[in-house]
Chains A and B, each alone.
Chain A
Amino acid sequence: MHELPITESILKIVLTHAEKNDVRQVMTIHLQVGKLSDLEDEWIQRYFDYLSKGTIAQGAELKIERTPIMLQCNACAASYPVEIANMSDSACPVCGQKDSKLISGREYYIKNMEVQ
């Protein structure tokens, strides 16, 4: 449901960079979004299509790379990937401890964009 503010933010950043670089048309935008985010790729694109109408980013395609959820064991410091459904029942594959901290999976990042 919070695709809208996220998408507004993406568009704002994209247009700022486009202006600085004399862009005529934004074609593709590469994003990194953590797997912990519940955003739906399809909806981000739909909101983007709606918000970008009449701008040089109109028609741009969003390519979303999902970054894995990584935990770091508080006992032995090993890091390991987990899926969202297993997070609350995960154990360190090295030492078996369940005590961990989240080190990635919450990313919202614009990497780069292809433009003309």
Chain B
Amino acid sequence: MENVRLIEVKEEIMADNNQVAAGVRERLRNTKTLLLNLMSSPGSGKTSLILRTVEGLKGAVKLGVIEADIDSTVDAEKVAARGIPAIQLRTGGFCHLDATMVTQGIDALAAKELDLIIIENVGNLVCPAEFDTGAHKNVMILSVPEGDDKPLKYPLMFTICDVLLVNKIDYLSLSDFDMAALRKRVLTLNSNIRIIEVSCKTGAGIEDWIAWLKKEVDEFK
């Protein structure tokens, strides 16, 4: 039998994606466009939050949106109806966006001279956390009906985010969601995360979110 040899490989499996992501960050740094990656479970309010954000930033920030959906254009149509440039990426069954897919979206928005691009990632608390999209800031939504135990199940997502928006706080009185327990769990995972309680339905807390976002966009200039 032929001799078996050992070859040292020593390579990061994600190296390709990480390199593309770093390129995206630098490219948008040069055009002074802040790229924000918005992640959450399906149905927690990503599109509603984007619509609230469009309203809150009106006249102050030039915004574009990259929508990712497994196979529909519903979300992009809602955003485009508000006069905001929106690109729909169909992920064709993929559970997350990677930096190459995001690059396609940015290319399609490139002519618009935007201050801010929001990526609405695929609804999923697992896979999007593992793939660097090239975003400068990662933001996640957890909605009250999902429960306060999600940091126990999906710690990585909470670990990588700069902001946690706790949405649907108008449901709090109907549920046994423990906000103090949630905060404790999340801050144990990530002491730098900013937690903002909002309701996209009533508008509660949205001004805190908009204030954070405007400050980030201004500082990026």
Q: Which residues of A line the B interface, CB within 8 A?
A: 1-2, 5-6, 9-10, 12-14, 17-18, 21, 23-24, 27, 29, 31, 36-38, 74, 84-85, 87-90, 98-102, 106, 108-116
Give Cα A111–Cα B9 distance, bound, in whole angstroms.
Answer: 5
* B189-A116 in contact (CB<8A): no
* B12-A108 in contact (CB<8A): yes
For residue B16, which residue of chain A has the nearest CB?
A: A9
Which residues of chain A are near B191, meaning CB under 8 Å?
Answer: 74, 99-101
* 28 contacts across the A-B interface (CB closer than 8 A): A2-B127, A9-B13, A9-B16, A13-B13, A17-B11, A29-B9, A36-B156, A85-B152, A87-B152, A87-B188, A88-B155, A88-B188, A88-B189, A89-B152, A99-B187, A102-B159, A106-B130, A108-B13, A109-B10, A109-B11, A109-B12, A110-B11, A111-B8, A111-B10, A113-B7, A116-B2, A116-B4, A116-B5
* B4-A27 in contact (CB<8A): yes
Q: Confirm or deny: B136 has a beta carbon within 8 angstroms of a beta carbon on chain A.
A: no
Q: Confirm or deny: B60 has a beta carbon within 8 angstroms of a beta carbon on chain A.
A: no
Cβ of A12 to closest chain B Cβ, rounded Å: 8
For residue A108, which residue of chain B has the nearest CB?
A: B13
Give Cα A1–Cα B11 distance, bound, in whole angstroms.
Answer: 22
Chain B 1-37 interface residues, beta-carbon cutoff 8 Å to A: 2-14, 16-17
* B188-A89 in contact (CB<8A): yes
Listed stretches B71-79, B93-101, B110-118, B200-208; interface member: B93-101
Which residues of chain A are near B177, meaning CB under 8 Å?
Answer: none
Per DSSP, chain B at the interface is mixed
Q: Confirm or deny: B209 has a beta carbon within 8 angstroms of a beta carbon on chain A.
A: no
Which residues of chain B are near A21, meaning CB under 8 Å?
Answer: 5, 7
* B186-A88 in contact (CB<8A): yes
Cβ of A68 to closest chain B Cβ, rounded Å: 14
* A112-B11 in contact (CB<8A): no
Q: Which of B98, B131, B151, B155 has the most CB of A within 10 A?
A: B155
